Chain A
Amino acid sequence: MKFTTMAATVALAIGITGAQAEPVKVGMITTLSGGGAGLGIDVRDGFMLAVKQAGNPDLEVIVEDDQRKPDIAVQLADKMVQSEKVDVLTGIIWSNLAMAVVPSVTAQGKFYLSPNAGPSALAGKGCHPNYFNVAWQNDNLHEAAGAYAKETGYKNSFILAPNYPAGKDALTGYKRFYGGDLAGEIYTKLGQTDYAAELAQIRASGADSVFFFLPGGMGISFLKQYADSGIDLPVVGPAFSFDQGILQAVGDAALGVKNTSQWNKDIDNEANKAFVEAFQAEYGRLPSLYASQGYDTANLLLSAMAKADVKDADAFRAALKEADFASTRGDFKFGPNHHPIQDIYVREVIKEGDVFTNKILAAALTDHADAYAGECSM
C-alpha cells in the first residue's frame, strides 16, 4: 500500500516534470541598435527580468538585434526557426517588421508572442492561432485618445502619423472614437526629424487640438519643435511619445500633455508594484510601458509552460489563451483573435523631483477589445 502510494507519487512527479522538463527555446528578435534601440532594450530587459525571477532552467532565450530593418528581421527569424530550432518567437517592436516575420513563422508552426507591434492585418483576416499579442492591437491606444478627445469636447483635430502600417492604424483608431471634424490629416515620413512644415500647416489650419502618433525620436523632435513654435493648442497622443525612456529628452516641452496607455507605473496592483521595484533595482531606471509589455510577455509564456508541453501545440496554445498570469496591468485576458481585452488610461506628464514621468488621470476605455476581432476566423 505504502509502496503503491510512493509509486503513484513518483509517477505523478514524473508526469509533472514530463510536462515541464521539455525545454522551451525562445528566439527574441528586437531592436537593440540604431534609432529605436531604447524600445527594444526595454522589452528585452522587462522580459529577461521575468525570466530571471522565475529561475526556470527549462527556458532558454536567444536575443538578436534586428537593427529595425525588415530584411534583417526575416533573416534572423529564418535562422532561429531552421538552425536554432526555437519553439517560440517574440520581441519585434515595429509593425513593418512584424508583418515581414510573423505570418511566415506562425505558418511554420511556431508560436509568436508579440510584446509590442499589433498591426491590424494580423488582428483581423490575417489572425493566426499561434499568434498572440500581449501588448495591444495598434489602434487601441489611439482609440482611447479619440475617446478622450471626444469627451473633452474637441471638435476640430489636426492629426498626423508616420507613413507606415502602425501610422495608418493610429489615425484610423483615433477617428473611430473621435467623431469630430478634422482640420487636417498628414502622413509624415518614417524617421522624419524636422516638423517645421507640418507645424506651419497646423498653425494655418484653425484646429482646436492636435493628435499625433510619432514613436521614439520622432516624437522628441516633434514636441520640442511644437513647444518652440508658439502654437498653444492642446496636444493628445498615445503613450509612445511619452514613455519613460524619452520623456527626459523632451523635458519641459512635454509637461502636462495628456497621453493614453494601457500601463503606468502607478497602476495599483501587487504584480505591478513588484515589477516597478524589481526593474529599478535590477537596471537602475524606471520601467517604461515597453518594459511592462516585455515582462508580461515572459510571464504569459512561463504560465503556459507550467501548464503544458510546448511540443503539444494544441495544449500549449490553450494554456497561452488562458492568460493565467499576474499582469502588471491588473485584469488581462485575450479576445477571440488572441489580442488583449484591457483597460486603457489617460495619463498626464508630470515632474517628480527631477524626473519626468506620467500619472494616471482616469480610464478612457474599459475592457476594451479591438475592432478587428470580428473579421478573424480561427
Chain B
Amino acid sequence: MSFLLLIEQVLNGLQFGIMLFLMAAGLTLIFGVMGLINLAHGSLYMIGAFCAAAVAAATGSFLLGLVAALAGAAAAGALVELVVIRRLYDKDHLDQVLATFALILIFSEGTRWVFGSFPLFLDVPDFLSGPVTLPGGIEYPLYRLALIVVGLLVALGLYLLISRTRLGIQIRAGENDREMIAALGIDIAKLYTIVFALGAALAGLAGALVGAIQSVQVGMGEPVLILAFVVIVIGGIGSIKGALVGAILVGLTDTLGGIFLPEALKLFLDPSTATSVGSSLASMAIYILMAAVLILRPAGLFGARA
C-alpha cells in the first residue's frame, strides 16, 4: 500500500463525499425548513440524470444536459411541492414517509414509461475525459477532479446564499420558527416552494454529474438516498455545515474502509477469508460510524435540536 495509492483513495473518498453532499444538502434543507422527510429525494436525483442524458443525447452538449438536469429537477420539485407535499406539512412523519414513498413508485414507473427499462447513455464530455497527472505522479481522472471542484463551489454558493441573502435570512428564520415568520408577513408558501425546488435542483445536479460515470437507470436514486440520510443524521438534521462534514466523513469512511479493512484483516486471516470478511465489514463501516456519532452526540455533529 503505497503513499500515492493512499492519496488517490483520499481523493476518491472526497469526491464521493462531495456528491453525497449535493444530495444531503437538499434533504437537510427541506427537513430543516419544513420539517418534512422527503423519501422521494432520490427520484429527483434520477430525474436530473435522465434529463441530462436525454438532452445531451439530443444536442450533443453535456453542459446543456446539466442545465436541463437543474431545470428539470427543480421543475419536478416545485410541481411535487405544489401538488402533493404542500398537504403534508402539518401531518406527522409517518404520513410524510408514506406519501413520499408513493412518489418514489410513481416517479420510477413514470420514468420507465417515458424512457423504457434499459439504462440510458450519458458520457463524460470530451474536455473533461481521461486522466491528468497530479503532482507526485498520481494519475487521476480529470472528471472526478471537476466533480470535487463543482461540489465545493456549490457548497460555497449555498453558504453565501444562506448567510448573505434575503432568501437565506428567510430560510434561517423558517428553520427557527415557522409560525413567526408567517406572522411577519413573509409568504411562507412561496418560500417552501423555492426551498423545495432548490433542494430538488441540487439533487438533480448530483444525478447528472454522477450519471456521466455511472449508469443512468430507473432506481438509481434509492441507494444514494439511504446514504444521504446517513449523512444528515451524522451531520445533524437541518444543518448544511453538518451535511458537508457528514458527507465527507461518510465518503472517506466508505472508500478507505473498503480498501484498508480487507488489507488489515489479511495480517491475521488467509487472503480469501480476509477479502470477504473485510468487504462485509466495509459495507457496515458507515453505519458503525453513524451509531458511534449518535452515541456521542445524539443530535448529530452540528445538530441544533435532538
Contacts and interface: CB of A to CB of B under 8 A. Distances in A.
B108 A33 contact: yes
Given A35-B220, A163-B276, A228-B124, A249 B215 contact: yes
Contact of B219 (A34, A194, A218, A250): A34
A186 B16 CA distance: 20
B12 A196 contact: yes
Contacts of A163: 276, 279-280, 283
Interface of A: 32-35, 37-38, 41, 163, 168, 185-189, 191, 193-194, 196-197, 200-201, 203-204, 216-218, 220-221, 224-225, 228-230, 245-246, 248-253
Contacts of B219: 33-35, 37
Given A204-B2, A217-B215, A221-B215, 8 more contacts: A189-B279, A200-B8, A220-B215, A221-B214, A228-B141, A229-B131, A230-B131, A245-B118
Contacts of A204: 2, 4-5
B5 A201 contact: yes
Interface in B192-212: 210, 212
A38 B220 contact: no
Interface of B: 2, 4-5, 8-9, 12-13, 15-16, 108-109, 112, 117-121, 123-124, 129-131, 139, 141, 143-144, 210, 212-220, 223, 255, 258-259, 262, 271-272, 275-276, 279-280, 282-283
26 contacts: A33-B219, A34-B108, A35-B220, A38-B118, A38-B119, A163-B283, A168-B276, A186-B279, A187-B279, A189-B282, A189-B283, A193-B214, A196-B16, A200-B8, A203-B139, A217-B214, A224-B213, A228-B129, A228-B131, A228-B213, A229-B131, A230-B131, A230-B141, A246-B118, A248-B118, A249-B118
Task: Pick the 6 closest A-B CB pairs, nearest first.
Answer: A230-B131, A220-B215, A196-B12, A249-B119, A217-B215, A221-B214
Nearest to A246: B119
Contacts of A196: 12, 15-16, 141, 144, 255
Contacts of B123: 224, 251-253
Nearest to A205: B5
Contacts, number: 129
Contacts of B282: 189
A34 B218 contact: yes
B298 to A, nearest CB: 28
Contacts of A194: 12, 16, 213-214
A229 B279 CA distance: 23
Among the interface residues B8, B141, B214, which one has the most CB atoms of the partner chain A within 10 A? B214
B253 to A, nearest CB: 12
Contacts of A35: 217-220
Contacts of A216: 215
Contacts of A168: 276
Contacts of A186: 262, 275, 279
B178 to A, nearest CB: 36
Nearest to B131: A230
B259 A201 contact: yes
A193 B279 contact: no
A228 B131 CA distance: 7
Contacts of A250: 121
A252 B122 CA distance: 11
Nearest to B119: A249
B259 A197 contact: yes
A217 B121 contact: no
A228 to B, nearest CB: 5
A250 to B, nearest CB: 8
A168 B131 CA distance: 32
A38 B118 CA distance: 5
A194 B214 CA distance: 7
A119 to B, nearest CB: 16
B220 A37 contact: no
A259 B94 CA distance: 48
A185 B272 contact: yes
A227 to B, nearest CB: 8
A217 B211 CA distance: 11
Nearest to A221: B214
